């Protein structure tokens, strides 16, 4: 073993043995905070911000566009930094960005300051969000990696479920500015936890990845999974790299286009506001369930079959939403959510299993760039299509076709997989 850290566990092999699951818990905590507070949870402040700064709907929602745009611009850079300096330092940096953003939020006095704060949130999302956490957890697991990632990525949805009611209560009791100041303590506490607990690889605690034994290693195989896999320059020359990127662009375009317009779609079909909101809740519950169940299933099923099957389910769900048949809507929302939860986690399992971890930061960051391009354009183009036709039917039908195309492309993954 090399590079033992100050947290040397030579005399604590049992702790080293179970450390991978502590890393899973740590990743879950980070995603609950980072994803939960950079996406939908902060929408509970929208009414207060609208009153405070007299913002119209476009001005208000520009803040989310700023966050996503910054994330898309810097996602590739974060991938290079992961491979160069390690995940832990990047997570600490992201938590600093998050703490600064939430603290400064309580002092903003003009709309441009609001957008500046969301630049910091975008940087926090890209440096401490799902990409670095996925690589961290994958480094600690040779077996049951799908289960480990499924448990971790539940955090991407769990934060959105936990924070809104709590924050709403604080806003009513303490005011929105004080709530932000109190909230800034959360990433500060998590930063201390990550500094003390998280390590980049099992070698730093004198252990092995979960499911790995020295007797089972190949002759030239390094027990540290971070040293195994393809170089970035090799990966980008493979057809499967570009096929995965294309599928990511198509599916993220489709899903974010669907979800961002789902409430309005259901309202336009005649559903009451409460029923439409319940549809959104059903989506998030289904997505969370899919992330765990389908990712866990990838430990036992052929991922190169499971992934296309999940995309087919997603395409069928989108087609159901486009049908405009009210009785189909609950089933369509549920199928879309469950399938997307699977697709989202399987992308990450697929990338690691195909290319390894040696250059996982750059590879995952590059693929995530194309996913971000799709995610940025999906909501606005779907909304534009509605403006032209007065209905989401054609837009959602087009999305179903795009996701179906991604499913067809994914059938070639296994054939083109590098040896």
Triad 8, 13, 15: Cα angle to 5°: 80
- Domain count within the chain: 2
Task: Report the pLDDT value the prediction gives residue 203, as an integer from 0 to 100.
Answer: 82
Q: Judge if 28 and 98 occupy the same domain.
A: yes
Q: Judge if 190 and 315 occupy the same domain.
A: no
**Model confidence at 129: pLDDT above 60:** yes
Q: Judge if 185 and 310 occupy the same domain.
A: no
Residue 298 — φ and ψ, nearest 5°? -65, -15
Q: Judge if 196 and 241 occupy the same domain.
A: no
171 occurs within a structural domain: yes
Q: Which of 172, 206, 240 is the last residue of a domain?
A: 206
Lowest mean pLDDT among 55-59, 235-239, 374-378: 55-59
Task: Report the pLDDT value the prediction gives residue 339, as an integer from 0 to 100.
Answer: 94
CATH of the domain at 137: 1.20.1250.20
Q: Judge if 201 and 234 occupy the same domain.
A: no
Mapping DSSP to helix (H, G, I), strand (E, B) and coil, where does residue 356 land?
strand
Which string of DSSP letters, residue by residue, matches 69-120? HHHHHHHHHHHHHHHHH-HHHHHHHHHHHHHHHHHHHTT--SHHHHHHHHHH
pTM attached to this predicted model: 0.79
Q: Judge if 236 and 335 occupy the same domain.
A: yes
Q: Which of 173, 206, 239 is the last residue of a domain?
A: 206
**Model confidence at 1: pLDDT above 50:** no
Task: Report the pLDDT value the prediction gives residue 4, as an integer from 0 to 100.
Answer: 38
Which of the pair, 314 or 356, is modelled with greater confidence? 314
pLDDT band at residue 57 using 50, 70 and 90 as cut-offs? low
Mapping DSSP to helix (H, G, I), strand (E, B) and coil, where does residue 179 land?
helix
Cβ count near 173 (within 10 Å): 9
Phi-psi region of 211 (alpha: psi -120 to 50; beta: other; left: phi over 0): left
Where in the sequence is the domain holding 22, given as residue range(s)?
A: 13-206
3-class SS string, 327-355 = HHHHHHHHHHHHHHHHHHHHHHHHHHHHH
Q: Judge if 148 and 44 occupy the same domain.
A: yes
Q: Judge if 278 and 403 occupy the same domain.
A: yes
The kind and range of the H/E element at 383 are helix 360-389
């Amino acid at each position: 073993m090399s590079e033992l850290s100050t947290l040397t566990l030579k005399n604590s092999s049992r702790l080293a043995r179970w450390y991978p699951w502590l890393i899973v818990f740590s990743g879950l905590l980070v995603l609950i905070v980072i994803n939960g507070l950079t996406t939908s949870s902060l929408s509970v402040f929208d009414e207060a911000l609208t009153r405070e700064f007299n913002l119209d709907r476009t001005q208000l929602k520009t803040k989310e566009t700023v966050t996503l745009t910054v994330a898309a611009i810097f996602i590739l850079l974060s991938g290079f930094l992961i491979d160069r300096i390690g995940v832990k330092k990047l997570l600490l940096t992201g938590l600093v960005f998050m703490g600064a953003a939430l603290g400064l939020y309580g002092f903003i006095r003009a709309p441009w300051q609001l957008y500046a704060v969301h630049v910091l949130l975008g940087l926090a999302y890209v440096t401490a969000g799902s990409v670095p956490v996925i690589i961290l957890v994958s480094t600690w697991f040779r077996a049951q990696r799908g289960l480990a990632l499924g448990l971790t990525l539940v955090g991407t949805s769990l934060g959105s479920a936990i924070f809104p009611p709590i924050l709403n209560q604080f806003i009513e009791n303490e005011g929105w500015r004080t709530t932000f100041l109190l909230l800034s303590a959360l990433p500060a506490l998590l930063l201390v936890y990550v500094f003390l607990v998280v390590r980049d690889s099992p070698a730093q605690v004198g252990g092995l990845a979960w499911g790995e034994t020295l007797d089972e290693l190949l002759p030239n195989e390094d027990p540290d999974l971070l040293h195994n896999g393809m170089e970035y320059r090799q990966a980008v020359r493979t057809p499967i790299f570009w096929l995965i990127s294309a599928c990511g662009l198509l599916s993220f375009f489709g899903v974010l286009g669907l979800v961002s317009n789902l409430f309005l779609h259901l309202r336009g079909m005649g559903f009451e506001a409460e029923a439409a909101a319940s549809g959104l809740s059903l989506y998030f519950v289904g997505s969370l369930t899919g992330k765990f169940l389908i990712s866990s299933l990838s430990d036992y099923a052929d991922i190169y079959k499971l992934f296309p099957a999940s995309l087919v389910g997603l395409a069928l769900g989108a087609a159901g939403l486009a049908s405009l048949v009210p009785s189909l809507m609950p089933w369509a929302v549920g199928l879309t959510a469950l399938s997307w939860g699977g697709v989202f986690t399987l992308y990450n399992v697929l990338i690691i299993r195909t290319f390894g971890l040696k250059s996982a930061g750059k590879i995952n960051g590059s693929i995530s760039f194309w996913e971000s391009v799709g995610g940025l354009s999906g909501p606005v183009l779907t909304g534009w299509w509605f403006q032209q036709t007065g209905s989401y039917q054609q837009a959602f039908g087009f999305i179903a076709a795009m996701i179906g195309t991604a499913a067809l492309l994914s059938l070639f993954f296994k054939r083109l997989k590098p040896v």
